Amino acid sequence: MTSRRTFLLTTLGCAGTAAAAPPARKPAPPRPLREDDRHAVAVGYVEDAARVDRKRYPKFTPDQDCARCDLYKAPIDAPWGPCTVFPGQLVAGRGWCDVFVTRR
């Protein structure tokens, strides 16, 4: 059987430990993906699909852009949105990369 004194000392000790703990950090807000990011370069990402190097990426067609890609997780009219290829970053809706998958 626990005495009132033991109970209070234990409870106060736990409360003091919780109060001294640093506050939880909020995750960093997503940031726009830079074209010179090494992952972006690896898949040929550009912020404007009109600038795609068609010799290097012959499968590109003018009707492809990030907003029409299945990996783009924002409404089709959003200027920037998250992409599953680049977690924690935003891609331009008008952008394009070689991982393009037609939206279903």
For the full predicted model, state whether its pTM sits above 0.75.
Answer: no
Q: 59 in helix, strand or coil?
A: coil
Query: Is the pLDDT confidence value at 100 over 70?
Result: yes
What integer pLDDT is reported at residue 6 of this predicted model? 73
Q: How far apart are CA 8 and CA 5, in angstroms?
A: 5
The residue with tokens 């992952």 is 39
pLDDT band per the 50, 70, 90 thresholds, residue 11: low
| Residue-wise pLDDT tens digits, 71-81 | 999 999 999 99
Q: Tell me the pLDDT of the chain averaged across its residues.
A: 89
Q: Span 69-98, mean pLDDT?
A: 97
Question: Is residue 53 a contact partner of residue 44, using CB atoms and an 8 Å limit?
Answer: yes
- Among 59, 63, 58, 71, residue whose Cα is nearest residue 103: 71
Query: Is the pLDDT confidence value at 25 over 90?
Result: no
For domain 26-92, give the CATH superfamily: High potential iron-sulphur protein (4.10.490.10)
Residue 10 main-chain phi, psi, to 5 deg: -65, -45
